[in-house]
Amino acid sequence: MNNLFRAVLPILAGCAMLVTGVAQAGAGGATSIANVALGVIDLTPQDGGAGFTIDSIDSRLMVYTYNSATGADFHPIVTKPAPYAAGQARLALDAATADATTSGAVGDVSARATAGAGLGLNHMSSAESEQRLWLTLAPHTLLTVSGDVLTQATRSLGDGAGYRVFSWASVDITDRDVVTSTTLSRESALIWGEATSSAFNNEFFTLAFANPGDAAMAVGMNFLAYTDVTIAAVPEPSTYGMLLAGLLLVGAAARRRGHPRHSQQI
């Protein structure tokens, strides 16, 4: 039985390290929308007059860390660049970074985040870059929006790794009353319990939104790039399996020790 315990103890020790969050791994994510172009198609070319005007443009860049166990935010940084101006919000800690940027061009938003185990269990490193436009769309005009969208998530899967990575990009076009809308949504995600180290999406997109009426229409457009990395608060499912197997072996040995076999003398 001593040999059995010698075999089981390393398993239990390794599981205990994972349960207490001792980890050497790291993770990161990136999201961006770029090279955006706005265009129009005249739905009634015989009349002419198709087009649009941009009435306002606002950007908001935010980075922060968040503790899901306590609900506490700390080190939040928010930047609001002037219209068409470049801007950056940046957070740099010993075990995490977060960057939200824009070049000021229409639709140009980017969010990146990284985190290591030193950030602490339940903690998230997050970046969010958002740009909002209001336009006036002329009658009988089809508005087109095109560009490049990227979402990426990576993590290492060494001993003690427990990282959730989520990268999300969205483009939304809607009328002022939010009755009609057109939406693009893309994501790359790595969730707990999956033996996957990377997810990647990079594509060219095109959206369209129509004003078929005889009056001008107020249209809102929103570009969002979001990325977060969260340190696992619980061990991976495979860890539970290793822990359970070790405990079963120890329990079986204890039962055998508590109920020795009886021999009969003839």
- Look at residue 262 and tell me if it is in a domain: no
CA dist 123 and 55 (Å) reads 40
Q: What is the pLDDT of residue 177?
A: 85
Residue 197 has pLDDT above 70, yes or no: yes
Asked whether the predicted pLDDT for residue 257 surpasses 80, the reply is no
The pLDDT assigned to 21 comes to 34
Distance (Å) of CA 244 to CA 15, 35, 145, 248, 251: 10, 52, 53, 6, 10
Residue 10 lies in a domain: no
Q: Is residue 249 part of a domain?
A: yes
Q: Where are the beta strands (DSSP E) in 16-83?
A: 26-42, 52-67, 72-79
- Average pLDDT of the residues in 241-262: 45
In the chain, the number of structural domains is: 1
DSSP 137-163: EPTTEEEEEEEEEEEEEEE---TT--E
Q: How confident is the model at residue 240 (pLDDT cuts 50, 70, 90)?
A: very low
Close Cβ partners of 125 (under 8 Å, ≥ 6 residues apart): 65, 91, 93, 96, 97, 98, 113, 114, 115, 119, 228, 229
Distance (Å, whole) CA 84 – CA 82: 6
Mind listing the pLDDT tens digit for each residue in 102-157? 999 999 999 999 999 888 888 999 999 999 999 999 999 999 999 999 999 999 88
Phi-psi region of 117 (alpha: psi -120 to 50; beta: other; left: phi over 0): alpha
DSSP string, 95-132: SEEEEEEE-SSTT-EEEEEEEEGGG-TTEEEEEEEEEE
Q: Is the pLDDT of residue 242 over 60?
A: no
- Please tell me the total number of residues recorded for the chain in this structure: 266
pLDDT tops 60 at residue 202? yes
Q: What is the pLDDT of residue 246?
A: 47
Q: How are beta strands 163-175 and 181-190 bridged, if at all?
A: antiparallel
State the chain's mean pLDDT as an integer. Answer: 82
Is residue 7 domain-resident? no
- Does 265 reside within a domain? no
How far apart, in Å, are the Cα atoms of 72 and each of 32, 65, 67, 98, 120? 27, 9, 5, 17, 13
Q: CB-based burial of residue 178 (10 Å sphere; 0-12 exposed, 13-18 middle, 19+ buried)? A: exposed
pLDDT at 248 over 90: no
The answer as to whether 209 is a domain residue is yes
How many angstroms separate the CA atoms of 225 and 128, rounded?
Answer: 6
Q: How confident is the model at residue 159 (pLDDT cuts 50, 70, 90)?
A: low
Grouping H, G, I as helix, E, B as strand and the rest as coil, residue 24 is coil
5 pLDDT tier (thresholds 50, 70, 90): very low
Averaged pLDDT, 210-219: 95
pLDDT at site 162: 87
Poorest-pLDDT segment among 50-64, 97-111, 117-131, 248-262: 248-262
Domain that holds residue 150: 24-253
pLDDT of residue 68: 82
Nearest CA among 118, 120, 146 for reference residue 209: 146
- Does residue 4 lie in a domain region? no
pLDDT confidence band for 73 (50 / 70 / 90): confident
Residue 25 confidence (pLDDT): 53
pLDDT for res 233: 55
- Across residues 60-87, what is the average pLDDT? 91
Instruction: Please give the backbone phi and psi of residue 156, each rounded to the nearest 5 degrees, phi first.
Output: -95, 155
User: Which pLDDT value is given to residue 2?
Assistant: 47
Percent pLDDT > 90 in the chain is 62
